[in-house]
């Protein structure tokens, strides 16, 4: 094997799981394409047939699988799929299903999630999308941020990898906070993935 073949063979192969808009999925795909950053996104999995992430992924020429919740929970469907793509890291980016325990056992410390608040605050059941930012504003918080963490069997409770925070002003609405968090995600999430797994 030549050196360049070895380098190629050692590149990470990421699967992104997303249920909705897919702005993070798209941003991660683009980031790892822009330069040789040690990995590439080779697969997107979604559980929603009308998710915007499907069109984004299609435009970028990345394979996208739409799977039902039952298929995602079926090891005989999921594991061969991920193995056929040589996946070494699963990134949840707005994925609203629980990750089945067999996946957590098969990919120890190789499944991560991004949460749009500073965990352990504002995490757990019901804390997704705009609800998170509404809760942050209602609690009078003066800062919020993003948390990238390992996925465990308990929602939003896996070991924290990185957090980045931003100020919340007294007159900020939930929509304002959402926009700030969106910017933080775009600026930081792909870099955190690279620095944690592919450096």
Judged by the rule CB under 6 A, the positions of this chain that interact with ligand GRF are 18, 20-25, 93-94, 114-116, 185
Give the nearer residue to ligand GRF in terms of CB position, either 23 or 74. Answer: 23
Q: Is there a contact between 94 and 28 (Cβ–Cβ < 8 Å)?
A: no
Q: Is there a contact between 170 and 14 (Cβ–Cβ < 8 Å)?
A: no
Assign 182 to helix, strand or coil: helix
Q: How far is the CB of 158 from ligand GRF (least distance, A)?
A: 13
Q: How far is the CB of 6 from ligand GRF (least distance, A)?
A: 33
Reply yes or no on whether 133 is catalytic. Answer: no
CA distance 71 to 74: 5
Q: How far is the CB of 28 from ligand GRF (least distance, A)?
A: 9
Give the nearer residue to ligand GRF in terms of CB position, either 77 or 194. Answer: 194
Give the nearer residue to ligand GRF in terms of CB position, either 22 or 158. Answer: 22
Point out the catalytic residue in the list 115, 131, 149, 182.
Answer: 115
Give the other-Cβ count within 10 Å of 2's Cβ. Answer: 7
Q: Which residue is nearest to ligand GRF (CB)?
A: 94
Q: Is there a contact between 75 and 102 (Cβ–Cβ < 8 Å)?
A: yes
Report CA-CA distances (Å) from 146 to 24, 61, 99, 102, 107.
Answer: 12, 28, 20, 27, 23
Residue with token string 């808009």: 21
Give the nearer residue to ligand GRF in terms of CB position, either 7 or 143. Answer: 143
Q: How far is the CB of 22 from ligand GRF (least distance, A)?
A: 5
User: Looking at the annotation, which residues are catalytic?
Assistant: 115
């Amino acid at each position: 094997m030549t050196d360049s073949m070895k380098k190629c063979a050692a590149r990470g192969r990421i699967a992104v799981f997303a249920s909705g808009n897919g702005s993070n999925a798209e941003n991660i795909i683009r980031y790892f394409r822009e330069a040789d950053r040690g990995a590439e996104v080779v697969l997107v999995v979604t559980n929603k047939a009308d998710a915007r992430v499907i069109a984004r992924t299609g435009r970028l020429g990345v394979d996208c699988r739409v799977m039902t919740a039952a298929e995602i929970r079926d090891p005989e469907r999921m594991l061969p799929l991920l193995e056929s793509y040589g996946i070494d890291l699963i990134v949840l980016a707005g994925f609203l299903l629980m990750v089945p325990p067999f996946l957590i056992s098969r990919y120890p410390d190789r499944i991560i999630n991004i949460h749009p608040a500073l965990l352990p605050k504002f995490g757990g059941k019901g804390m997704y999308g705009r609800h998170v930012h509404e809760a942050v504003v209602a609690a009078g918080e003066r800062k919020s941020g993003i948390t990238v963490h390992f996925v465990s069997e308990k929602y939003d409770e896996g070991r924290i990898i990185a957090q980045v925070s931003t100020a919340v002003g007294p007159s900020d609405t939930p929509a304002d906070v959402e926009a700030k968090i969106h910017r933080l995600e775009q600026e930081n999430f792909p870099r955190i993935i690279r620095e944690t797994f592919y450096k």
